[in-house]
């Protein structure tokens, strides 16, 4: 295989490994909290606080360093961005391993370094595609990257939880596997043919352009509300992910981290179903039902709150080998995901279709910033809930009320006459 032809398959495999590691390492870190609580070393409030802090460490670099990562991605070879991001993730994992001797502070520092690596890696994995593939293959290639990322997210969360359960007394084994995953991804990046740099890109001009586009989007009545909507989706997703551990342990009485990770799997299955159906049923730009889907999502979150108080949601329980499935809750999570998919996908499609094609990259960068701000906001919501004595179930109720309130204000105006209702493909 020639150097140029190997770049794409090496990118796909590297991306899958890197995303797998990103999700597995968090599962390994927070999975240790489960057994600390069971041993009486952590209270429920302490578990929820530690869980929230660890999870939010991945989001923070995407907010603070997003302009820097974008500049590096535009100026330097994308292959260097991929390798640099994975090198940072590898370093972060090794720092996490120091916690086994010197305490949990090193775990937090290490995971923050992993987050910085993910921030550097992220723009490069998409930015490199136009440089290594012909234009007619870009849509399919983006879809393949997204598919592999989704599989890695789900697989990483479950694999990390399995490691946390199996090696709860030998956490060094889990970190050894994670080091191997990131090292493999890094080796693939180093084996890729180097892509060109662009030394003409200047930091001041790059930052000014980003800030100006952010201002323009904020002042656009329709696009700005789409951004609020997509950000709300990620608020809900992050808050649920953080809350599954304490809720699963206390309310569902789940026995281990693997069963807790499956809660996220059922939610993701619902999101995938809702996303596919929304893509087939609704034309691009049709957002009249957005608030209906938003209120449906809020209603499903309210039902998740009711699980603790209504016995009908807790039976039957299906036990098949290692699986411990609370069947009605499984249905609620899939239903919540479907409502979330119906809410998100029309907003995403309209945002991309109605943005200035020459500035679509900057629009996506702004959207990523808004989404990560939303995830940090979800972390703050969970922290405040702990401090004010709101239970794990109560977090779902707070989230439902918050979602309903934002959706009630989310009146998206009709598109202007200059925006076609069904944009033609270029």
Query: Quick count: other Cβ atoms within 10 Å of Cβ 253?
Result: 12
User: Does residue 206 lie in a domain region?
Assistant: no
d(CA 378, CA 376): 5
Query: What average pLDDT does this structure show over 272-299?
Result: 83
Residue carrying structure tokens 């120091």: 98
d(CA 265, CA 263): 5
Give residue 418's pLDDT: 45
pLDDT in tens, 118-140: 989 988 887 788 888 887 777 67
pLDDT in tens, 56-102: 998 889 888 877 877 787 788 889 999 999 999 999 999 999 999 99
Indicate whether 214 pLDDT > 60.
yes
Q: Partners of 354 in the beta sheet?
A: none
How many whole angstroms from its chain centre is CA 208?
27
Question: pLDDT band at 424, cuts 50/70/90?
Answer: very low
Note whether 217 and 343 are same-domain residues. yes
Note whether 143 and 234 are same-domain residues. no
Query: What average pLDDT does this structure show over 299-311?
Result: 93
Q: What is the bridge-based pairing of β-strands 317-320 and 323-326?
A: antiparallel
Residue carrying structure tokens 């493909």: 425
Looking at 201, 235, 266, which one is the last position of a domain? 201
Indicate whether 422 pLDDT > 60.
no
Give residue 48's pLDDT: 94
Indicate whether 2 pLDDT > 70.
no
Give residue 425's pLDDT: 38
Query: What average pLDDT does this structure show over 256-274?
Result: 91
User: Does residue 4 lie in a domain region?
Assistant: yes
Note whether 9 and 86 are same-domain residues. yes
User: Does residue 190 lie in a domain region?
Assistant: yes
How many whole angstroms from its chain centre is CA 266?
15
Query: What average pLDDT does this structure show over 20-27?
Result: 96
Query: What average pLDDT does this structure show over 145-165?
Result: 89
User: Does residue 26 lie in a domain region?
Assistant: yes
Give residue 420's pLDDT: 43
Looking at 150, 178, 201, which one is the last position of a domain? 201
Give residue 43's pLDDT: 93
Residues of the chain above pLDDT 90, percent: 54
Indicate whether 346 pLDDT > 90.
no
pLDDT in tens, 320-333: 767 778 889 999 99
Give residue 4's pLDDT: 56
Indicate whether 423 pLDDT > 60.
no
pLDDT in tens, 165-204: 999 999 999 999 999 999 999 999 999 998 888 787 777 7
Which of residues 345 and 373 earns the better pLDDT score?
373
Indicate whether 116 pLDDT > 50.
yes
Note whether 94 and 162 are same-domain residues. yes
Note whether 223 and 196 are same-domain residues. no
Note whether 288 and 408 are same-domain residues. yes
Tally of structural domains, the chain: 2
Average per-residue pLDDT in the chain? Answer: 87
User: Does residue 422 lie in a domain region?
Assistant: no
Looking at 201, 227, 254, which one is the last position of a domain? 201
Note whether 6 and 146 are same-domain residues. yes
Note whether 225 and 180 are same-domain residues. no
Indicate whether 112 pLDDT > 80.
yes
d(CA 397, CA 379): 15
d(CA 196, CA 75): 9
Residues 58, 111 contacting (CB under 8 angstroms)? yes
Which of residues 395 and 74 earns the better pLDDT score?
395
User: Does residue 421 lie in a domain region?
Assistant: no
DSSP string, 328-397: HHHHHHHHHHHHHHHHHHHHHHHHHHHS-GGGHHHHHHHHHHHHHHHHHHHHHHHHHHHHTT--HHHHHH
Note whether 138 and 221 are same-domain residues. no
Note whether 95 and 64 are same-domain residues. yes
Note whether 171 and 194 are same-domain residues. yes
Give residue 421's pLDDT: 41
Note whether 252 and 344 are same-domain residues. yes
Give residue 203's pLDDT: 74
Instruction: Round the CA-based radius of gyration of the chain to a whole number and report it.
Output: 22
Task: Identify the domain containing residue 111 by its residue range.
Answer: 1-201
User: Does residue 419 lie in a domain region?
Assistant: no
Question: pLDDT band at 272, cuts 50/70/90?
Answer: confident
DSSP string, 109-150: HHHHHHHHHHHHHHHHHHHTHHHHS-GGGHHHHHHHHHHHHH
Q: Measured in Å, how far apart are the chain's first and last C-alpha atoms? A: 32
Here the CATH number for the domain that contains residue 340 is: 1.20.1250.20
d(CA 285, CA 232): 19
Closest CA to 412 of 298, 294, 255: 294
User: Does residue 423 lie in a domain region?
Assistant: no
Residue carrying structure tokens 């569902």: 252
């Amino acid at each position: 295989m020639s150097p140029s032809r190997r770049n794409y398959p090496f990118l796909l495999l590297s991306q899958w490994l890197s995303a797998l590691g990103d999700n597995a390492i968090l599962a390994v870190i927070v999975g240790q909290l489960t057994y600390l609580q069971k041993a009486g070393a952590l209270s429920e409030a302490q578990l929820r606080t530690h869980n929230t802090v660890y999870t939010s460490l991945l989001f923070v670099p995407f907010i603070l360093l997003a302009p820097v990562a974008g500049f590096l991605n535009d100026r330097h070879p994308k292959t260097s961005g991929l390798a640099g991001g994975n090198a940072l993730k590898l370093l972060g994992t090794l720092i996490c391993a120091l916690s086994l001797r010197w305490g949990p502070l090193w775990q937090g520092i290490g995971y923050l370094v992993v987050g910085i690596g993910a921030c550097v890696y992220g723009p490069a994995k998409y930015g490199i595609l136009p440089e290594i593939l012909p234009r007619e293959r870009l849509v399919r290639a983006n879809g393949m990257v997204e598919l592999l990322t989704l599989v890695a997210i789900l697989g990483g969360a479950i694999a990390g939880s399995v490691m946390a359960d199996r090696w709860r007394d030998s956490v060094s084994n889990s970190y050894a596997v994670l080091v191997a995953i990131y090292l493999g991804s890094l080796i693939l990046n180093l084996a890729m043919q180097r892509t060109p740099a662009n030394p003409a890109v200047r930091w001041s001009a790059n930052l000014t352009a980003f800030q100006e586009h952010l201002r323009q989007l904020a002042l656009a009545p329709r696009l700005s509300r789409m951004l609020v909507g997509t950000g709300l989706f990620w608020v809900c997703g992050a808050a649920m992910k953080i809350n599954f551990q304490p809720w699963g342990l206390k309310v569902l009485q789940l026995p281990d981290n693997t069963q807790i990770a499956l809660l996220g799997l059922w939610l993701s299955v619902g999101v995938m179903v809702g996303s596919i159906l929304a893509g087939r049923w609704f034309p691009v730009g049709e957002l009249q039902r957005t608030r209906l889907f938003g209120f449906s999502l809020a209603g499903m979150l309210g039902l998740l709150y009711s699980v603790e108080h209504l016995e009908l949601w807790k039976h039957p329980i299906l036990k098949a080998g290692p699986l411990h499935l609370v069947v009605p809750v499984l249905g609620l999570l899939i239903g919540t995901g479907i409502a979330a998919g119906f809410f998100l996908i029309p907003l995403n499609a309209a945002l991309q279709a109605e943005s200035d094609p020459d500035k679509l990259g900057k629009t996506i960068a702004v959207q990523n910033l808004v989404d990560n701000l939303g995830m940090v906001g979800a972390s703050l919501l969970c922290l405040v809930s702990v401090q004010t004595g709101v239970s794990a179930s109560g977090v779902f109720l707070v989230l439902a009320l918050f979602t309903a309130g934002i959706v009630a204000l989310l009146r998206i105006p009709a598109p202007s006459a200059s925006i076609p209702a069904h944009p033609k493909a270029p």
